[in-house]
Structure 1
Amino acid sequence: MMPETRLPALLLLTLTTLLWGCSRQDIYDTAIDWERSSAGLEADRVVVGELDVAYLHNKDAIEGETIVLIHGFGANKENWTRFAGELTDEFNVYAIDLPGHGDSSKELDLGYRLEDQVQYVSRILAALGIDQSHMMGNSMGGAITALYAATFPGQIRSAVLFNPAGIFEYDSELVELVTEGDNPLIPKQPGDFERLLDFALEKRPFAPWPILDVMEEKAIANQEVNEVIFAAIRDSGYEPDFRNTIERIEAPVLVLWGKEDRVINYRNADIFVERIANARKVLLDGVGHAPMIEVPEESAKLFRQFIQSSN
């Protein structure tokens, strides 16, 4: 999604590609490439055993620490582009497409429990030569980040959990809908993707219609694997072992949560802070389930302040 300061350039790009008779996919690819480049990122791939993994990283490596970004359920590496663009001048940033998501492998029988995904991330980082990082995750990615920090404490300098899954002491609108057999996080037909965006985001960034159309097509095409992943993380996320495991986290942890989150109740932040020894929380008014998309500049600023105060 696009920051307001880039809207005129993006609109011009979209109009130009339309006038040249490009397809919606061409417009999507051009816009995504432009957005990555503007953020100082480029796309790459790495093969890890049976996994083919897509990721973004700095176009030009710098002398700085590393940040690893882990997206949420049904999302992908592009969710971090705006946020990453605030940090690539100081950090080497890696945004990974988890297995089953984005442009990475999507085998249905791979195993998608939270513990499985922690191990996949470990193997991916080893293949990329990353032995220490600041790790950040949103939603499902937040739960993975917390478990990773508890499982591999020596590898994590700090952790930032954006509206993390894993603890559901307090119910949300999503829990009520899923209980009734309606899951707005898994688009199945035209119109469902708009509903997903409205449900998950309180502040929707601008994106031209051709881009949203392609995003919806991709989301609908992923319905089957999304159903498998959702069932796996739902089962593992409710286990009481999660709360006990995150007590082993040694790194400083920042829990950032939008108070308008309809996916996971923001009051669950208190449980994370109670269970993690060196954790603090920041609640964001007027923000929904994805602060790094909705308020990327503020989110990056809070991260910088957090690591400065933690040193």
Structure 2
Amino acid sequence: MYILGLIFLLLIVYVAIIYLFFPQQVLNFNYKIFQWKAGLTKKSITIDDYEVTYYDGGHGENLILIHGFSDSKASFLQVAKWLTKKYRVILPEVPGFGITARDKNRRYGIRDQVVFFHKMFEKLQVKEFHLGGNSMGGHISAAYTLQYPEQVKSLLLLNAAGVTVIDGLPYQPAPKPVETMEELNEYMTYLFVERPFMPGSVQRLFIENSQKNFEWLNHMRKEIREGKDIILNERVPQIKQQTLILWGDSDRVVVPQVGERYHKLLPNSQLKVMKNCAHVPQYERPQETSEILLAFLQEIK
């Protein structure tokens, strides 16, 4: 009994050390669990000498979901748990984000990402698919649908950028990185209504990454501002696909009026508003988000 107790104590100490001092490993472990629950496999593909990773799994019609600015392919992992039961789900990393290479000789505007993904989907031999994304990912999805309408069976826009309701360009540079716990708390309050639990070590990792990635992310914002397809207001009415517009009513990043503008401009769209939810419903309320997506997709003829 003494030996078993000692082993158990050592195990607790080991887990505590990992939890406190190796936050990235804790996050990676959580991603692995979400990936396993969704039945997804992590894969990689190289397009024009540029490698990206993506998750792929499930059976049925193809469903591609693209993450938002400064996010990663893990964005829709929790939602995928329900989606892969009826669809083949592909979650790609957007070039310039996640673990992809940061090459300042490449172009990262919205149109550039569209062209890259077109080549990627061709190489994967994915000819037709339902396409969607959150924030910038929704922006890319709308631009892709305009560029390659014959491939897109339906469009899903979750708190998507891409159209404007005020003058001026979106994707303006951030004035400073998050540097303190107080600033992190303000940022999380800005991003969520119901904040996810983050242990102190993960919060410190977030602050560290905010400072480390600050210059690069502002470079990416500049790329988008100066690239093609930055504002889609005039072209969006050309989209004929059935479109789901899903918005959190408390979004302060891409305000709900943008969702209303999308709904007004898109001739074949429906607008769903999630109460007491903010900018990233796939994180904040993954099951409810998946239920709304599935209900919409089941209506597609």
TM range (shorter): 0.7 to 0.9
What does residue 232 of structure 1 align with? Answer: 223
For the 8 Å contact 1:27–1:210, the answer to whether it is kept is no
Aligned positions, number: 289
Alpha-carbon distance between aligned partners in 1 of 2:201 and 2:61, rounded to the nearest angstrom: 36
Distance verdict in 2 for CA 1:239–1:206, change over 3 Å = closer
Q: Deviations over 1:122-144 (max 9, x none)?
A: 12222222111111111111111
Q: Does 1:250 align with 2:240?
A: yes
What does residue 105 of structure 1 align with? Answer: 101
Distance verdict in 2 for CA 1:244–1:140, change over 3 Å = same
What does residue 40 of structure 2 align with? Answer: 41
Percent of aligned pairs with the same amino acid: 25
- Look up the SS of the partner of 1:94 in the other structure: strand
- Look up the SS of the partner of 1:307 in the other structure: helix
Distance verdict in 2 for CA 1:237–1:109, change over 3 Å = same
- Look up the SS of the partner of 1:86 in the other structure: helix
For the 8 Å contact 2:83–2:294, the answer to whether it is kept is no
For the 8 Å contact 1:170–1:267, the answer to whether it is kept is no
Q: 1:156 offset after TM fit, Å?
A: 0.8
What does residue 205 of structure 2 align with? Answer: 214
Matching of residues 160-179 of structure 1 within 5 Å: 160-170=156-166
Distance verdict in 2 for CA 1:208–1:140, change over 3 Å = same
Q: Does 1:69 align with 2:65?
A: yes
Alpha-carbon distance between aligned partners in 2 of 1:82 and 1:39, rounded to the nearest angstrom: 8
Alpha-carbon distance between aligned partners in 2 of 1:204 and 1:73, rounded to the nearest angstrom: 19
For the 8 Å contact 1:139–1:164, the answer to whether it is kept is yes
Q: Does 1:309 align with 2:293?
A: no
Q: What amino acid does structure 1 have at the position aligned with 2:34?
A: E
Q: What amino acid does structure 1 have at the position aligned with 2:194?
A: K
For the 8 Å contact 1:260–1:287, the answer to whether it is kept is yes
Q: Deviations over 1:218-247 (max 9, x none)?
A: 34322222111112334558955x122222
Instruction: Tell me whether 99-108 or 37-46 shows the greater mean CA deviation.
Output: 37-46
Q: 1:39 offset after TM fit, Å?
A: 2.5
What does residue 267 of structure 2 align with? Answer: 277
Alpha-carbon distance between aligned partners in 1 of 2:230 and 2:206, rounded to the nearest angstrom: 32
Matching of residues 85-96 of structure 1 within 5 Å: 85-96=81-92
Q: 1:310 offset after TM fit, Å?
A: 3.1
Distance verdict in 2 for CA 1:152–1:285, change over 3 Å = same
- Look up the SS of the partner of 2:100 in the other structure: coil
Q: What amino acid does structure 2 have at the position aligned with 1:43?
A: K
Runs of at least 5 residues in structure 1 that lack an aligned partner in the other structure: 1-12
Q: What amino acid does structure 1 have at the position aligned with 2:197?
A: F
Q: 1:149 offset after TM fit, Å?
A: 1.0
Q: Does 1:155 align with 2:151?
A: yes
Distance verdict in 2 for CA 1:226–1:239, change over 3 Å = closer
Runs of at least 5 residues in structure 2 that lack an aligned partner in the other structure: 1-10
Instruction: Tell me whether 292-301 or 33-42 shows the greater mean CA deviation.
Output: 33-42
What does residue 56 of structure 2 align with? Answer: 57
Q: Does 1:293 align with 2:283?
A: yes
Q: Give the structure with higher Rg (CA).
A: 2
Q: Deviations over 1:3-32 (max 9, x none)?
A: xxxxxxxxxx99863357873333333232
Distance verdict in 2 for CA 1:214–1:40, change over 3 Å = farther
Q: Deviations over 1:236-288 (max 9, x none)?
A: 58955x12222221211011011101111101222212222211111111010
Q: 1:113 offset after TM fit, Å?
A: 1.6
What does residue 5 of structure 1 align with? Answer: none
Q: Deviations over 1:189-215 (max 9, x none)?
A: 344554433211222223444444434
Alpha-carbon distance between aligned partners in 1 of 2:207 and 2:34, rounded to the nearest angstrom: 19
- Look up the SS of the partner of 2:260 in the other structure: helix
What does residue 5 of structure 2 align with? Answer: none
Q: Does 1:17 align with 2:7?
A: no
Distance verdict in 2 for CA 1:91–1:209, change over 3 Å = farther
